[in-house]
Each structure stands twice: as C-alpha cells, then as structure tokens.
Amino acid sequence: MFCFQCQEAANNRGCTIKGVCGKSEELCKEMDLLKHHLKQLAVLNNDEIALFVTNSLFKLITNANFNLDDLKNTNEEALNIAKKYNLQLDNNIIINDNLTIKGLKEMIMTGLMGMAAYHYHAIQLNYQDSDIHEFMLHVLSKLDTINDIDKLLKIIDVVGEYGFKVMALLDEANTSTYGNPEISEVNIGVSNRPGILVSGHDLHDLKLLLEQSKDSGIDIYTHCEMLPAHYYPELKKYPHLRGNYGNAWYAQTKEFESFNGPILFTTNCIVPPLANANYKDHLFSTGNANATGFTYIPEINKQKDFSQIIELAKTCLPPKPLEEGKIIGGFAHHQVLALAEKIIENIKNGSIKKFVVMAGCDGRQANREYYTDFASKLANDTIILTAGCAKYRYNKLNLGSINGIPRVLDAGQCNDSYSLVKIALALKDAFELDDVNDLPIAYNIAWYEQKAVIVLLTLLHLGIKNIKLGPTLPAFCDENIVKVLQDKYQITTINKVNEDLEILG
Ligand code: SF4
Ligand code: SF4
C-alpha cells in the first residue's frame, strides 16, 4: 500500500504497511480503486454521477470509513452505474513517478475530497450547487491526463476558489436551517441520566436524533467537532442536548470508555476501537461513516430511524464525568459582526493588538503540544480566532478576556473557517485597507486531513500570505512544491514556540 493523504503519513512520507490511522492494506487498495473508478465515471457529468461521486469522495476521507465491505459495495455500485451508461471502467490505476506532479495531483484530490464532504453536508439540508458538481467532475475526469506543473498549480488555485463557494453554501445551509450561531455556554459535565454521544460533523443527523429522543428520559452529548451544535438556536433549544463530553477525536479511545452509553458517528474522525474496548458493542454510524463492527443506521426515504440507539441508551448507566464546568463559543461571523463596534473600538484604543487564527485540526502526535504552549504564551492583548477541533488544544485554558471579549473566539466546525474569513474581510473594510494582509491578523493553522486542506487552499486563493502550517507540511509536498508554497504564498511550518511568537505574536 501507499498513502500519504493526511498529516499522520508515516515518517511524514507515507504509510506503506498499515495506516497510522488504522487503514489496512486491503482497504487502502479498495479506496485507490474507488478513486480510479470515480475519475472515469466523472466524464458522464450528470446529477446522479455528481451525487455518487460526492458521497464516495467523502468515504475516502481519512478516518471516515473503515468498512471494507462498504468500500467493495461502493466500487460495485460504480461499475453498475457505468454499465447503465454503456461506460466500461478499467482497473488500471495510473501512478505518476514524478514526485512534484504526483504531489500536486494529491493536493487536488485531497482538496476535492474536503470540498465533497462540505457539499454533502449542504446537500443534506437541500442546498446544492450544480457549479460545484460540474467543477468537481471536470477536474476529476481530466486529472490523470494533466502532467504540467503550471496547469496543476492553476487548478489548485481554482479548487481554492470553489472551496470558498462550498463553505459559503454550507454556512447558508446551516444558518438558514438552524439559525445564526450565538454566544453560548456549553456544559462539559454530565447529568444523572443515561446518554448518547454524537461525534462527527453532521448537524442534520444530530437534529433527527434530538427530535426522536426528546421524551425518552435520556440526554444527548456531543464529542469533538459536534461541539458547535450547541451554538445554533434550533439545536440548543432541546433541553436534553446536555453538553459536550471530552475533547478532540483522537482522545476517543480513552474518553469513550467512561461514557457508558451508545456512541453515534455521523462522519470522520473514527479511531477503530481496540478488541478489548468496553464500548465496542455500543458503536453506531450513519451517512458515509462506517467501520467493521459498528451498527450502521441507513437513510430510507430521507428518514433515519435511531430508535435502537435510543432503546440501548435507556439500558445504560449515566456517563462518568470527565470534567466539570462550562466553555464558551458561538463566535461565527453573524455574532462577531454584531460585536464589530466593540471590537473596532478595542483595536483603536490599543486594548486588542493582534488576532491569531488558530483554526484547523487536532491530532494525536505529541508535538501538537506546541499549540497549547503557543496559545498560552500569546500576549494578553491578542485574540485567538478558531474553528475546527484544533481548539481543544487551548479552549479550556482560561485565557481570560479583553474588556468583555473572550480571548478565544470559537466560530465552530472547520468549515466555519468561512466565518473567520468573513470577519477578516469585514475588518479590512472597516479599516479601509486595500489588502487583507495589512490587518493585524496572523495565521497559525494546524491540519490533519482533507477538510483542512480545502480550507487552506481557500485561504491561499483569497491571497492570504505568511500562513504557518503545522505541525508538518503535507507529505505529498516534495521540495519543489514546498518552494512554490514558500515563494508564492510565504507559507512556512512551525518552529520553536518562542521563535514563532516573535514572528506571529
Ligand atoms: S490516511 Fe493518513 S494515516 Fe491513514 S494510511 Fe493514509 S496517510 Fe496513513
Ligand atoms: S477538524 Fe479535521 S481532524 Fe478535527 S474532527 Fe474535523 S475533520 Fe477530524
């Protein structure tokens, strides 16, 4: 096997025996075949193909789907769809030996996977953009035939342009359906009732579960990236949406042990449980998330029946507390722009000197301690703007506030980086600047997987320079790609905290 699509790629080169994520060689090969099939199917360019490709790309995201049978069935489905259109799919995967070309193509594929995941969430809420579909299919269908570095770089820029479109679409879908996120305190303790823990990013699944469980005598908790659900009026109105349990995705093997109740994965990021995990019989998944041993909840006629999870929860003990207290969030663009006058006044009077965007992903590697250290050492007149699970590295540090404005402003999930861009653009207008890079905003982005890549490509497309990307640059960037990233966008990777504070703080 060979896979280098995420930040955990072994030795920052690639996984060759087994994925650090837990992906087996067989699963990796089935996924590679699916990618190859999708590229061939993409020439058909119609609605049925676009939806199939969007779902399938989501399944290929790191930590989303560990079910070999599901992947085999998806490949079978690809062959059947092709047959319907008299298209013959081959299995001859094309591998380019030129590391720069190979890396640029991987960057495009990872961006498309992130884009597909965000589009999938919007489609669940009946927001669909045929331009995004068309672009995705067009790029996929041509990718194997383009071997020109400049052309590939141009495509990467346009992927970033579509990244902005898809994040804007998902923002519209979420805010029109659930209301604008508002400042909210989220309980991180537990109640004395049994609970269901919901992970992943799919607010639509959470809403269905909240509705179906509202009079069941159980509570619903969020894990990792589902935390921002508590910021939306249409979700927080359910009193049994009790709180957030635990931290970022990689902590699940420890934290799920004490939850006691069933756990539902709606998307990535899954860590396959160990054979002796006490929660392994309590695992459910839905949508594109799946793993061997999990009970899968299908969608039938646009409905999902979560009754077996709810019934199981009723027989379980309440969760054991991991911590107590509250955290605050809900600083998406609408809420922050409502506070714009106060923020601008604090910038003008010198109380706020700088913003640091610390969005993106968390991960299990020890060197990610850097982000906790960096956040805690930032000057007291600096505000952290965050989105994605990267926040768990510093959202419980009690960094205080500046004249009532918390020093960590959490906009939401990784796709809510869109909010951070909107806030930056609004500040640029308020200060009548020509260039967003003239604002006192620094970018220290942590990445792990493909959604973070589409966010990064979006920022690059918008002309944002001097981003620090860590904890490592992607394994698919060879020295030529790194040089382009440095020359064109001034991207660097993280260094020692004190050195980076000198530059960004
Ligand atoms: S997704 Fe990441 S960890 Fe998993 S096999 Fe690929 S590079 Fe390795
Ligand atoms: S921000 Fe990235 S790493 Fe974190 S849960 Fe979301 S997809 Fe996974």
The H-or-E segment that residue 234 falls in is: helix 233-236
Identify whether residues 159 and 100 lie together within a single domain. yes
Q: Does the pLDDT of residue 96 top 90, yes or no? A: no
Q: What are phi and psi of 130, to 5 degrees?
A: -65, -25
Looking at the fold, whether 59 and 123 belong to one and the same domain comes out as yes
Rg (CA), the chain: 22
Residue 265 pLDDT greater than 90, yes or no: yes
The percent of residues above 70 in pLDDT, for the chain, comes to: 100
> Which of 20, 25, 113, 449, when mutated, tests ligand 1's pocket best, judged by the most ligand atoms within 8 Å of its CB?
20
Is there a domain that residue 245 lies in?
yes
- Domain membership of residue 15 as a residue range: 10-178
Q: Domain boundary residue among 131, 146, 178? A: 178
How many CA within 13 A on the CB side of residue 118? 31
Tell which residue, 183, 179, 178, 237, has the closest CA to residue 202: 178
Specify the ligand 1 atom closest to the Cα of 10: 8
Per-residue pLDDT of 453-467, as tens digits, reads 999 999 999 999 999
CA–CA distance, 222 with 224 (Å, rounded to integer): 7
Closest-approaching ligand to the CA atom of 447 = 2
The reply to whether ligand 2 has any atom less than 6 angstroms from the CB of 269 is yes
Residue 446: beta bridge partners?
360, 470
Task: Give residue 94's pLDDT.
Answer: 86
**Same domain assignment for residues 147 and 251:** no
CA-CA-CA-CA dihedral for 368, 370, 375, 376, to nearest 10: 120
Distance CA 424, CA 402 (A): 19
- Name the E strands within 1-54: none
**Contact 20 CB / ligand 1 (< 6 Å):** yes
Residue 20 Cα: closest atom of ligand 1? 3
Whether ligand 2 lies within 6 angstroms of the CB of 361 is answered as yes
Q: Does the residue 252 lie in any domain?
A: yes
Assigned domain for 489 exists: no
Does residue 498 sit within a domain?
no
Q: Which ligand is nearest to the CA of 392?
A: 2
Averaged pLDDT for residues 166-173: 98
Q: Is residue 61 part of a domain?
A: yes
Q: Do 101 and 23 belong to one domain? A: yes
Which ligand is located closest to the Cα atom of residue 412? Answer: 2
Q: What is the CATH number of the domain that holds 240?
A: 3.40.50.2030
Q: Quick one: 38 exposed, middle or buried, by C-beta within 10 A (0-12, 13-18, 19+)?
A: buried
For residue 90, what is the domain's CATH number?
1.20.1270.20
* Closest-lying ligand 1 atom to the alpha carbon of residue 62: 1
Distance 18 CA to ligand 1 centre (A): 8
Asked if residue 255 and residue 193 are part of one domain, the reply reads yes
Three-state DSSP string of 115-147: HHHHHHHHHHCCCCCHHHHHHHHHHHHHHCCCC
pLDDT band at 437 (very low <50, low <70, confident <90, very high): very high
- Report yes or no on 210 lying in a domain: yes
Same domain, 116 and 198: no
Q: 3: Cβ below 6 Å to ligand 2?
A: no
169 within some domain: yes
Domain count, the chain: 2
C-alpha of residue 313 to centroid of ligand 2, in Å = 26
Report how far residue 246's alpha carbon sits from residue 222's, in angstroms, rounded to the nearest whole number: 8
Residue 58 Cβ inside 6 Å of ligand 2? The answer reads no
Whether 21 and 136 map to the same domain: the answer is yes
CA distances from 390 to 37, 444, 487 (A): 33, 11, 27
Last residue of a domain, one of 178, 198, 229: 178
Q: Token digits for 91?
A: 């299995």
Per the document, the length of the chain is 505
Copy the structure tokens of residue 174: 């979420």
Residue type for 260, please?
N
Mean pLDDT, all residues of the chain: 97
Whether the predicted pLDDT of 314 surpasses 90: yes
- Give the whole-angstrom CA distance, residue 102 versus residue 104: 6
Nearest-atom index, ligand 1, CA of 15: 8
Parallel, antiparallel or unpaired: strands 382-386 and 354-357: parallel
Do 191 and 139 lie in a common domain?
no
In a domain, 319, yes or no: no
- Say whether both 190 and 250 belong to one domain: yes
**Non-local CB neighbours of 28 within 8 Å, separated by 6+ positions:** 1, 2, 3, 15, 19
Q: Which of the listed residues 250, 280, 314 is the one where a domain comes to its end? A: 314
* 448 close to ligand 2 (CB < 6 Angstrom): yes
Same-domain status, 69 and 189: no
Nearest ligand to the CA of 393 is 2
For residue 425, what are the contacts with CB-CB under 8 A and spacing of at least 6? 436
**pTM of structure:** 0.97
pLDDT of the residue at 505: 83
- Shared domain check, 222 and 163: no
Same-domain pairing of 28 and 159 = yes
